[in-house]
């Protein structure tokens, strides 16, 4: 048995020696040498030659192909003359840390002057991006495959379409299959067959990606075949129609988001004005206090947690301030609306100056939490998360207020006082208490509106002044004291403003809306949904 082991060992030694003498090396070593030889040629080749060498590298299917091509794309591929090899730079400094391009072996740091950079132009980078995309198509990660298809669509090269067709035959992800179909249609636009080009142009109709629209525009203008040009123009017409619909949808969304802000700003005023008949000119400053409460909360709590805490805190702070205003000033002025207007205007000036003295007149910025940052896709429509959250927040506040007024004892008493104060007092309702709580409720909702506004604009002493006029417009237009009227009016004015802005501009749009409201109130002075009751005019 020992003799057999010695024989096998001797035979193995002889075989290895023979391989060395005859120049026979393992397959991966031969591949390494071929790739290294190709890379060395990149140093002196012109850009057309470099493109051919990149194709040679792509055909080699070497394990290090992706990092090599990425380094050439990023201008991090160097030739080291001292060792006649190509290396990849891992940083960009006077002393560059390098690794062997073929093996990936770390080679330490060398002087930048000892290396020759291998450059690439935009055409070569497009080719590299396309070949890297072909490599990504085989990835098990769907995100990498999606990115690979998107990279091909940015630089559609008919010569690189074969891997896309192979991937389409086995792809299981529906979204990626659709992207692969579009990418292949883009490649077919460069076909020599006019019928293929026309079919591809028709298939790309209605697609809103910039790359697709750009290629269709060029085909519609420059293609040699009239049928292809007509197909491309028809496809562009469908795309333009979809873009127009998308623009209308975006305008509608921005109008709804503006209307939500107007509803939040006006709904508290609708409660106090409708029940108590008080023209509260300090309503905007109560929104300002809610915004400053949000900013203070964010100084003590993490950003992602501060906003949920700030909502009830702002409601409590502004409700207490509102009750103090009602008990200290308003209760002595019931039945004298002009004097309540002047008194609350004075309160607004006091609150503004107090904020300036405490926090300084400089604006403060409230950071948006992560869950309100960025955008989200609703089909083809891309909307900002902060505005979408504010729309949902407005709906939630409206629903809670409606339930409070319809399903609680306080709500019953508020409605009774609003309809007939004298009869409610005769039935035992403590109208003074109802007035204080109602004013506090309206003020608290104004504070909650300030929380929402802090996510759309800077927080400053003049924050409320931008919304007080709009709030009164919404309340009067919808019908004093009517919550549903306030919602309809807020959304209507918000959408109308955004629809008019593209034609008239932001300032003139507000003027047009204001003129419309003046004419409307002349015709219906009690608004869209007037309050009804025994004491109300029917």
- Distance CA(301)–CA(297), nearest Å, equals 6
Higher pLDDT, 134 or 299: 299
Mean pLDDT of 55-82: 84
Do the domain assignments include residue 237?
A: no
Q: Which of 12-16, 238-242, 367-371 has the lowest mean pLDDT?
A: 12-16
- Supply the range of the domain harboring residue 27: 9-120
From 224, 258, 282, give the residue that closes a domain.
224
User: Is the domain of 201 the same as that of 287?
Assistant: no
- Distance CA(331)–CA(228), nearest Å, equals 78
Contact 90, 74 (CB under 8 A): no
For the chain, what is the domain count? 3
CATH code of residue 413:
1.10.3470
Average pLDDT, rounded, for the chain: 82
Do the domain assignments include residue 135?
A: no
Do the domain assignments include residue 326?
A: yes
User: Is the domain of 114 the same as that of 160?
Assistant: no
- Distance CA(277)–CA(239), nearest Å, equals 53
Strand order across the beta sheet in which 95-100 lies: 106-111, 95-100, 85-89, 77-80, 115-117
Report how far apart, in Å, the C-alpha atoms of 169 and of each of 106, 176, 189, 191 are: 40, 12, 21, 21
Mean pLDDT of 178-197: 86
Do the domain assignments include residue 188?
A: yes
Name the residue among 212, 242, 239 with its Cα closest to residue 381.
242
Instruction: Decide if pLDDT at 316 tops 90.
Output: yes
pLDDT value for 285 = 92
pLDDT over 90 for what percent of the chain? 13
pLDDT value for 536 = 47
Band of residue 312 on the pLDDT scale cut at 50, 70, 90: very high
What is the pTM for the complete model shown?
0.68
User: Is the domain of 499 the same as that of 364?
Assistant: yes
Do the domain assignments include residue 186?
A: yes
Band of residue 29 on the pLDDT scale cut at 50, 70, 90: low
Higher pLDDT, 80 or 337: 80
User: Is the domain of 72 the same as that of 171?
Assistant: no
Higher pLDDT, 202 or 132: 202
pLDDT value for 20 = 37
User: Is the domain of 261 the same as that of 377?
Assistant: yes
**Local structure of 117: helix, strand or coil:** strand
The full 3-state SS of 261-307, as one line of letters, equals HHHHHHHHHHHHHHHHCCCCCCHHHHHHHHHHHHHHHHHHCCHHHHH
User: Is the domain of 264 the same as that of 209?
Assistant: no
Do the domain assignments include residue 404?
A: yes
pLDDT value for 479 = 81
Instruction: Decide if pLDDT at 24 tops 50.
Output: no
pLDDT value for 534 = 43
Report how far apart, in Å, the C-alpha atoms of 216 and of each of 236, 328, 431 are: 7, 70, 71
User: Is the domain of 498 the same as that of 414?
Assistant: yes
Task: Tell me, rounded to whole angstroms, the distance of Cα 100 from its chain centroid.
Answer: 41
pLDDT value for 532 = 60
Do the domain assignments include residue 466?
A: yes
pLDDT value for 274 = 67
Do the domain assignments include residue 243?
A: no
- Distance CA(312)–CA(299), nearest Å, equals 17
Contact 290, 316 (CB under 8 A): no
pLDDT per position as a tens digit, 350-406:
999 999 999 888 888 888 888 888 888 776 777 888 888 989 999 999 999 889 888
Structure tokens at 365: 């910025």
pLDDT value for 473 = 85
pLDDT per position as a tens digit, 450-508:
999 888 888 999 888 878 888 888 888 888 777 888 889 888 888 888 888 888 887 78
User: Is the domain of 180 the same as that of 275?
Assistant: no
Return the axis-axis angle of helices 65-73 and 122-136, rounded to nearest 10°: 150
User: Is the domain of 167 the same as that of 301?
Assistant: no
For the beta carbon of residue 159, count every other beta carbon within 10 angstroms. 11
With 0-12 CB in 10 A as exposed, 13-18 as middle and 19+ as buried, what is 57? buried
From 183, 209, 224, give the residue that closes a domain.
224
Instruction: Decide if pLDDT at 37 tops 70.
Output: yes
Band of residue 447 on the pLDDT scale cut at 50, 70, 90: very high
Instruction: Decide if pLDDT at 322 tops 90.
Output: yes
- Distance CA(124)–CA(129), nearest Å, equals 9
pLDDT value for 521 = 82
User: Is the domain of 58 the same as that of 168?
Assistant: no
- Distance CA(204)–CA(201), nearest Å, equals 5
Structure tokens at 258: 């503006």
Name the residue among 205, 156, 149 with its Cα closest to residue 179.
149
Instruction: Determine if residue 415 is left, alpha or beta; phi over 0 gives left, psi from -120 to 50 gives alpha, anything else beta.
Output: alpha
pLDDT per position as a tens digit, 408-428:
888 888 878 777 777 888 888
- Percent helix, percent strand, percent coil in the chain, to nearest 5: 70, 5, 25
Backbone φ and ψ of 88, nearest 5°: -110, 130
Report how far apart, in Å, the C-alpha atoms of 518 and of each of 263, 402, 486, 511, 527 are: 20, 29, 17, 11, 11
pLDDT value for 81 = 84
Q: Which of 269-278, 280-289, 321-330 has the lowest mean pLDDT?
A: 269-278
Instruction: Decide if pLDDT at 56 tops 60.
Output: yes
pLDDT value for 14 = 38
User: Is the domain of 186 the same as that of 101?
Assistant: no
User: Is the domain of 412 the same as that of 301?
Assistant: yes
Return the axis-axis angle of helices 483-504 and 468-478, rounded to nearest 10°: 120
Band of residue 318 on the pLDDT scale cut at 50, 70, 90: very high
Higher pLDDT, 141 or 71: 71
Task: Tell me, rounded to whole angstroms, the distance of Cα 20 from its chain centroid.
Answer: 62
Mean pLDDT of 76-98: 86
From 77, 102, 120, give the residue that closes a domain.
120
pLDDT per position as a tens digit, 94-147:
788 889 888 888 888 888 888 888 888 888 888 887 777 777 777 777 777 887
pLDDT value for 6 = 43
Winning range, highest mean pLDDT, from 208-222, 279-293, 455-469: 279-293
Instruction: Decide if pLDDT at 290 tops 80.
Output: yes
């Amino acid at each position: 048995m020992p003799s057999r082991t010695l024989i096998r060992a001797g035979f193995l030694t002889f075989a290895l020696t023979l391989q060395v003498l005859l120049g026979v090396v393992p397959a991966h070593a031969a591949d390494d040498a071929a790739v290294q030889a190709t890379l060395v040629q990149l140093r002196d080749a012109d850009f057309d030659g470099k493109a051919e060498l990149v194709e040679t590298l792509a055909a080699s299917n070497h394990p290090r192909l992706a990092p090599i091509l990425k380094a050439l794309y990023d201008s991090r591929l160097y030739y080291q003359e001292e060792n006649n090899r190509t290396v990849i730079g891992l940083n960009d400094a006077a002393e560059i840390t390098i690794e062997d391009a073929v093996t990936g072996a770390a080679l330490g740091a060398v002087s930048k002057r000892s290396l020759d950079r291998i450059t690439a132009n935009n055409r070569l980078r497009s080719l590299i991006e396309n070949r890297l995309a072909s490599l990504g198509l085989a990835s098990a990660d769907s995100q990498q495959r999606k990115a690979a298809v998107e990279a091909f669509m940015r630089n559609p090269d008919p010569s690189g379409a074969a891997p896309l067709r192979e991937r389409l035959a086995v792809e299981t992800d529906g979204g990626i299959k659709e992207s692969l179909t579009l990418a292949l249609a883009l490649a077919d636009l460069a076909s020599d067959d006019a019928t293929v080009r026309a079919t591809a142009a028709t298939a790309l109709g209605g697609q809103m990606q910039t790359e697709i629209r750009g290629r269709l525009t060029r085909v519609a203008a420059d293609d040699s075949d009239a049928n292809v040009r007509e197909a491309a123009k028809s496809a562009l017409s469908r795309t333009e129609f979809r873009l127009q619909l998308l623009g209308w949808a975006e305008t509608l969304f921005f109008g709804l988001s503006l209307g939500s802000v107007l509803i939040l700003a006006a709904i508290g005023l609708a409660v106090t004005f409708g029940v108590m008949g008080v023209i509260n000119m300090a309503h905007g400053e109560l929104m300002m206090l809610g915004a400053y409460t949000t900013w203070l909360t964010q100084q003590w709590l993490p950003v992602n947690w501060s906003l949920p805490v700030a909502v009830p805190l702002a409601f409590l702070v502004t409700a207490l301030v509102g009750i103090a205003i009602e008990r200290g000033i308003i209760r002595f002025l019931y039945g004298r609306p002009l004097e309540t207007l002047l008194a609350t205007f004075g309160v607004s000036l006091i609150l503004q100056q107090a904020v300036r003295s405490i926090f300084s007149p400089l604006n403060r910025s409230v950071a948006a939490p992560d869950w309100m940052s960025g955008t989200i896709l609703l089909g083809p429509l891309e909307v900002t998360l902060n505005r979408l959250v504010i729309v949902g927040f407005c709906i939630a506040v409206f629903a809670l207020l409606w339930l409070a007024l319809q399903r609680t004892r306080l709500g019953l008493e508020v409605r009774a006082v609003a309809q007939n104060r004298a009869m409610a007092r005769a039935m035992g309702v403590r109208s003074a208490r109802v007035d204080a709580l109602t004013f506090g409720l309206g003020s608290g909702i104004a504070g909650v509106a300030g929380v929402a506004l802090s996510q759309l604009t800077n927080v400053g002493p003049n924050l409320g002044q931008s919304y007080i006029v709009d709030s009164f417009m919404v309340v009067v237009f919808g019908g004093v004291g009517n919550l549903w009227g306030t919602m309809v009016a807020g959304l209507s004015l918000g959408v109308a403003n955004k629809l008019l802005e593209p034609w008239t501009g932001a300032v003139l749009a507000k003027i047009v809306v204001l003129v419309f409201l003046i004419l409307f109130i002349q015709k219906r002075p009690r608004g869209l949904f007037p309050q009804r009751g025994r004491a109300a005019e029917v």
